[in-house]
């Protein structure tokens, strides 16, 4: 299957199409697709979803996707890669929001915007991006970047509101808040101790473990470790960071500590995992 690469950190494409010019394909980058007008079907990972004006889709690296166009469609494509994320274009907290997107977008078809308020917020932003892109006025690139950064944060908020896989509608709001807190502070291990979490959420340290397992169906330690490993997989596949740099970023004692934990859960060392996955690209 054809896999596309992005040769610059950031790209905007605005097109009107009568038929999809590409068969099912994959990317090595992220892509936001906004439907300005028209109807059809989005196909992603062999699932289909009807689209119409106002839908916004998130396509992450390695998603297999295409569009079946029924009515002439105007698309706005916003493409960006890890260089864009890492080049100080976004503040540090927004970098973590993007990682949240990467790990929590469910790779199923469907509009990423889950509430009407955000849909009405996104539409004028998209229209402004298109105007700047078409008119090419003074400072248009800077304005587009600011608008896109805001759009990414809105997308992150919508994904943050989606329930994690092992949490259902009956779960207490406090359990969801704990999960979101863990994800937001994954780089700060002192905030993820049972003592700190218990004090932050008004749960005794002795009861916290049972409370968390009841609602998340896994232990607190396992959840933190698995979430960390998902982010590390992202680093291995979508960055050029060295293993030692990744180990330091995620507060492992040293590179051998990361190797041991990663191999325990993933069956291979980080370097072997990176080499194996990238060899199939």
Residue 191, pLDDT > 50, answer yes
- pLDDT category, 163, cuts 50, 70, 90? very low
Q: State residue 52 phi and psi, 5-degree precision.
A: -155, 180
What structural domains does the chain harbor?
3-160 (2.60.120.10), 173-279 (1.10.10.60)
pLDDT tens digits, residue range 10-36? 899 999 999 877 788 888 888 999 999
Q: What is the pTM of this model?
A: 0.60
Q: Coil, helix or strand for 19? A: coil
Rounded to a whole number of angstroms, the distance between the first and last alpha carbons of the chain is 9
- pLDDT of the residue at 55: 94
The mean predicted confidence, pLDDT, of the chain is 83
pLDDT tens digits, residue range 56-85? 998 887 788 889 999 999 999 999 887 777
pLDDT tens digits, residue range 211-245? 888 887 889 999 899 889 988 987 887 777 899 99
What whole-number percentage of the chain has pLDDT above 70?
84
Establish how many alpha carbons lie within 13 A of residue 132's alpha carbon, considering only the half-sphere containing its beta carbon: 18
Q: State residue 69 phi and psi, 5-degree precision.
A: -90, 125
> Which of 98-107, 155-164, 197-206 tops mean pLDDT?
197-206
For residue 75, list its beta bridge partners. 15, 35
Q: State residue 45 phi and psi, 5-degree precision.
A: 50, 45
Q: Coil, helix or strand for 111? A: coil
Cβ contacts of residue 60 below 8 Å, gap of 6+? 30, 101, 102, 105, 107
How much is the average pLDDT of 35-56? 88
List the alpha helices (DSSP H) in 30-136.
82-84, 92-104, 116-135
């Amino acid at each position: 299957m054809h896999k596309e690469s992005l040769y610059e950190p950031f790209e905007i494409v605005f097109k009107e199409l009568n038929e999809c010019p590409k068969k099912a394909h994959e990317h090595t980058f992220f892509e936001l697709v906004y439907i300005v007008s028209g109807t059809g079907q989005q196909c992603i990972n062999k699932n289909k979803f009807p689209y119409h004006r106002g839908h916004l889709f998130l396509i992450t690296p390695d998603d297999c996707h295409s569009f079946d166009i029924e009515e002439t469609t105007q698309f706005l494509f916003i493409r960006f890669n890890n260089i864009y994320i890492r080049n100080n274009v976004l503040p540090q907290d927004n970098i973590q929001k993007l990682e949240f997107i990467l790990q929590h977008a469910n790779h199923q078809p469907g509009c990423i915007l889950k509430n009407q308020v955000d849909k009405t917020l996104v539409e004028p932003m998209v229209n402004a991006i298109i105007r700047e892109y078409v008119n090419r006025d003074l400072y248009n690139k800077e304005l587009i970047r600011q608008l896109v950064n805001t759009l990414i944060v809105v997308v992150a908020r919508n994904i943050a509101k989606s329930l994690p896989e092992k949490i259902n509608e009956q779960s207490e709001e406090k359990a969801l808040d704990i999960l979101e807190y863990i994800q937001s502070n994954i780089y700060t291990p002192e905030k993820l101790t049972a003592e700190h979490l218990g004090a932050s959420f008004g749960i005794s340290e002795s009861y916290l473990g049972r409370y968390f397992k009841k609602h998340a169906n896994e232990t607190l330690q396992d959840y933190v470790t698995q979430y960390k490993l998902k982010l590390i997989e992202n680093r291995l596949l979508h960055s050029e960071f060295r293993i030692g740099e990744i180990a330091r970023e995620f507060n492992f004692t040293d590179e051998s500590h990361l190797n041991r934990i990663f191999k325990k859960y993933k069956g291979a060392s980080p370097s072997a995992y990176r080499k194996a996955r990238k060899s199939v690209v």
